[in-house]
Amino acid sequence: MLTSGSRRAFLKTIGLGAAAAAIPGVVSARDKGADRPNILWLVSEDNGPFFGCYGYKNAVTPHLDQLATEGILYENAFANAPVCAPARSTIITGMYPPSMGTQHMRSKNPIPDKIKFFPQYLREAGYYTTNCSKTDYNIARLPKGTWDVCSGRGHWRGRKKGQPFFSIFNIGTSHESCLHRGAKPSSQDPAKVELPPYHPDTPEFRNDWAYYYERITQMDAQMGKLLADLKADGLAEETIVIYYADHGGVLPRSKRFLFDSGTHVPMIARFPKKYAHLAPGKPGTRTDRLVSFIDLAPSMLSLAGIKIPDYIQGEAFLGAQAAKPRDYVYLFRGRMDERYDFARAVRDKQYKYIRNYMPHLPWGQHLEYLWKSKSMQSLWKEHLAGRLKGAEKLFFQPKATEELYDTKADPHEVNNLAGDPKFSKILQRMREAQIAWAVDIHDIGFLPEAEFLTRAQGSTLYDLARDPKKYDQAALMAAADVAGARDAKNLPKLIAMLGDKDSGVRYWGAIGCLSLGAKAAGASEALTKALGDSCPNVRIAAAELLCSMGKGDKALAVLTEALGHSNVRVGLHAANALDHLDEKARDAVDAMKKAKGDGYTQRTLGWALQGLGEKKAPSAKKPRRKKK
């Protein structure tokens, strides 16, 4: 009997055809006559496990609760990213976006041709593949051959007689945008909603929570309709059904953030009797097995009896090629729309470790889309009025370099244990797991976005991350560690880093000084020299700190000049720096009003100008499309 590890090695050694004969359930993609299950994915948007079957008191979710009684409920399922596009990039490729350069929101970078969207393998094996209809894969070009139908018309009903299908239905009812309208709930009582400790008890929060639960109930009904259609078509006993949400969310401190509120997702898998041998448990059972989105692609290939490509980084948790249960899931956070950040996280069944590589930035950076909800506006208002208390304050405070949470004792993750000696061994174990993962996947996040786009020079970021001549990951990770420590004793090291031959190391030298703020006064000379650095990201970070120190004569000009850079991500970095400076950016008001840049840059500058009591110049607004 082959173990999961030896099975993968065996497949690699003897090739696809022999593997089909050697291992039951693993068949050649050319063997289109094999009896394989239909697979139906039901996907909701922007919701954690706010269902009755997960124990939530406000939940009214009869259809998904029923599905849980018929299937296996996953208690520890996680999105690798707490926001849609990077999360979906993970799902469709079976690859970690930081290993491909697709970790930043709406980055649209190319990936190598060898990395295919996994439904293509299903289609080549004879499956009818449909997607109804969201893509949002955060990748420049969608490869051909993935779908038979990818539109609002995508449905299993279009397949040939007897053809197995893989169909996705994406329901957006619970998406964050539902809170932008400020609608009132009709079936939920805001007074009875239970608020997490990091949300102030305001009418806006109670109303948004109540309405959000109402939208989840509506989504549940839509899922029920699809399940009823499957049964009416006589396909329920031929089809494996998998439901999950695309990440957590959506109220403040959930979507976009690495806490469980942003990454813990509901997941339920139902297997008909015909395919009970593929199920990891009996109907109505629960499992605490750790699974994450990186594992979905290989698991679907395994269920369909298709060899998992060697490049895929996920591990199957279903089917003949299932691996042993994983010890950790790995999470990441990069740029969220117009705001830069860089954090990685590791989660086991009990503990969450977060490594903040830019701890000087608060979690609560202004994001135009996030600020559209009444609850977020309420949180900001309470913050400005000084009325937040306890855990409510955390959102707008600088982050700790390391965070460690006991998610069983502290499910809302508000008590950071990283500094507690009693948890030092756990902290070290989780820290080592995060570092090992970053090395293993060739995490390209240790270069700023504008710089890695420059270095790629026509190649993919996947290839750049694996080229030690262009990307010295060990040196960059070491530099990031020094910068993120926020220790004034490291100032001599940071000054030395500003003179390094690698622009990435110089960048971390500047970021480290910026993190220290006034404690980096001794680096003024090196920072002034850095204003002429060949790397714009170094110039911007140095200029921001010098301006904050009141030495902005030349530094402010560096920032305003960068707004017009041909690389739009340079302009965005400069816009963020100007916003951080508040009143010390006053002399740049005219330049900010005249700046072009992309939509993200415009949003950031608009917020900066609003903080200075200014209005954005009409000429700088995004032009409206002319009617045809």
Q: Which residues are catalytic?
A: 84
Give the three-class secondary structure for 75: strand
Element of type H or E holding 149: strand 149-150
Burial of 371: CB neighbours in 10 Å, binned 0-12, 13-18, 19+: middle
| Residue 286 in tokens | 């629960």
Side-chain-facing half-sphere of 38: CA atoms under 13 Å: 25
Whether the CB-CB separation of 280 and 299 falls below 8 Å is answered with no
Pick from 315, 291, 326, 328: which is nearest to 431 by CA?
328
Q: Which residues contact residue 337 at a Cβ distance below 8 angstroms, ignoring those fewer than 6 apart?
A: 105, 106, 367, 368, 369, 600, 603
Chain-centroid distance, C-alpha 67: 27
Whether the CB-CB separation of 374 and 390 falls below 8 Å is answered with no
Distance CA 581, CA 328 (A): 39
| First-last CA distance in the chain | 67
Q: Which residues contact residue 344 at a Cβ distance below 8 angstroms, ignoring those fewer than 6 apart?
A: 98, 330, 331, 332, 333, 354, 355, 357, 434, 437, 438, 443, 445
Q: What is the dihedral of CA 316, 320, 326, 330, to 10 degrees?
A: 0
Distance CA 271, CA 303 (A): 11
Give the three-class secondary structure for 120: helix
